[in-house]
Amino acid sequence: METHVTILKSRLDEANLEKLLAVPNEHVHRFIADAIELCNPSSVFVVTDDPDDINRVRRMAIETGEEAVLATEGHTIHYDGLHDQARDKARTRYLVPEGETLGKNLRQIERKKGLAEVKGFLKNSMNGKEMAIRFFCLGPINSIFSIPCIQLTDSYYVAHSEDILYRSGYEYFKSIGNKNDFFRFLHSASRLDRFVSVDIKWRRVYIDYIDDTVYITNTQYAGNTVGFKKLALRLAIRKANREGWLAEHMFIMKVLGPEGRRSYFTGAFPSGCGKTSTSMVKGETIIGDDLAYLRHHKGEVYAANVESGIFGIIRSVNSDDDPVIWNVLNRPGEVIFSNVLIANGTPYWIGDGREVPEEGINYSGNWFKGKTDKKGNEIRHSHKNARYTIKLSELDNLDPKADDPEGVPLHGIIYGGRDPDTWVPVQQSFNWAHGALTMGACLESESTAATLGAEGIRTYQPFANLDFISIPLGRYIQNHLDFVKGLKKVPKIFSVNYFLRDKEGNYLNGKQAKRVWLKWMELRVHEEVGALTTPTGYIPKYDDLKRLFKSVLNQDYKKEDYEQQFEIEVTELLAKIRRIRKKYRASVPDAPDILYRLLNAQKYRLLAARAQFGDSIRPSLFEDED
Q: What is the secondary structure of 105-148 as a DSSP string?
A: TS-EEEHHHHHHHHHHHHTTTTTTSEEEEEEEEESSTTSTT-EE
Q: Is residue 426 located within the same domain as residue 539?
A: yes
Q: How far apart are CA 79 and CA 336, in angstroms?
A: 10
Q: Is 89 helix (H, G, I), strand (E, B) or coil?
A: coil
Q: Do 174 and 237 reside in the same domain of the chain?
A: yes
- CATH number of domain containing 362: 2.170.8.10
CB-neighbour burial class of residue 312 (10 A; exposed 0-12, middle 13-18, buried 19+) = buried
Q: What is the pLDDT of residues 391-427, one digit of tens each?
A: 999 999 999 999 999 999 999 999 999 888 899 999 9
Last residue of a domain, one of 393, 416, 441: 393
Instruction: Tell me the C-alpha to C-alpha distance, in Å, between residue 393 and each of 170, 184, 245, 293, 311.
Output: 20, 26, 27, 20, 14
Does residue 543 fall inside a structural domain? Answer: yes
CA 248 vs CA 34, 138, 311, 437, 516: distances in Å: 32, 13, 16, 15, 25
415 closest CA partner among 438, 447, 399: 438
Last residue of some domain: 186, 221, 244?
244
Adjacent-strand bridge partners of 533: 538
- 157 in the same domain as 55: yes
Count of domains observed in the chain: 3
Cα atoms in the Cβ-side hemisphere of radius 13 Å centred on 8: 25
- 301 and 322 belong to one structural domain: no
CA distance 414 to 529: 18
Q: Which residues contact 595 (CB under 8 A, 6 or more apart)?
A: 437, 441, 477, 584
In a domain, 72, yes or no: no
Type and span of the H or E element at 159 = helix 156-165
Do 226 and 163 reside in the same domain of the chain?
A: yes
Same domain (yes/no): 344, 211: no
Question: Is 51 inside any structural domain?
Answer: yes
Condensed to tens digits (0 to 9), the pLDDT of residues 165-201 reads: 999 999 999 999 999 999 999 999 988 877 788 888 8
Question: Is residue 69, in this structure, part of any structural domain at all?
Answer: no
Same domain membership, residue 370 and residue 431:
no
Mean pLDDT by 10 residues, the chain (626 residues): 83 96 96 97 98 97 96 96 79 92 86 96 96 98 97 97 97 95 95 80 93 94 90 97 97 96 96 85 94 97 97 92 92 97 97 96 94 92 95 96 97 94 96 98 76 63 92 95 97 96 91 96 97 98 98 97 96 95 93 97 98 96 88
The three-state secondary structure class of 366 is: strand
Q: Are the C-beta atoms of 264 and 436 separated by less than 8 Å?
A: no
Supply the pLDDT for residue 447. Answer: 65
Q: Are 129 and 42 in contact (CB under 8 A)?
A: yes
As a 3-state breakdown, the chain gives helix, strand, coil percent values, each rounded to 5, of 35, 25, 40
One domain for residues 235 and 149: yes
- Per-residue pLDDT at 452: 47
For residue 131, the model assigns a pLDDT of 98
Domain match, 377 and 287 both = no
Domain extent at residue 337: 311-393
pLDDT in the model for residue 83: 78
Nearest-angstrom CA–CA distance, 210 and 104:
19
The reply to whether 71 falls in a domain is: no
DSSP three-state, residue 302: strand
Co-location of 37 and 184 in the same domain:
yes
Res 625: pLDDT: 85
Is the domain of 288 the same as that of 227?
A: no
Indicate if 262 and 283 belong to the same structural domain.
yes
Question: Are 356 and 305 contacting, i.e. CB atoms less than 8 angstroms apart?
Answer: no
Q: What is the CATH number of the domain that holds 468?
A: 3.90.228.20
What is the number of other CB atoms lying within 10 angstroms of the CB of residue 193?
9
Angle at 256 between CA 253 and CA 262, to 5 degrees: 75
Does 549 reside within a domain?
A: yes
Whose CA is closest to 190, among 165, 223, 225? 225
Residue 80 covered by a domain: no
* Cross-strand bridge partners of residue 292: 248, 305
431 vs 202: CA distance, rounded Å: 47
Q: Label the pairing between strands 183-188 and 213-217.
A: parallel
Q: What is the CATH classification number for the domain harbouring 186?
A: 3.40.449.10
Q: Which residues are catalytic?
A: 273
C-alpha distance from residue 179 to each of 3, 224, 494 (Å): 19, 27, 40
What is the spatial distance between Cα 290 and Cα 96, in angstroms, rounded to a whole number?
A: 27
Radius of gyration of the chain from its Cα atoms, rounded to whole angstroms: 25
Per the domain annotation, does 487 fall within a domain?
A: yes
- Give ∠ CA 523-527-528 in degrees, rounded to 5: 55
Domain endpoint, select from 371, 393, 415: 393
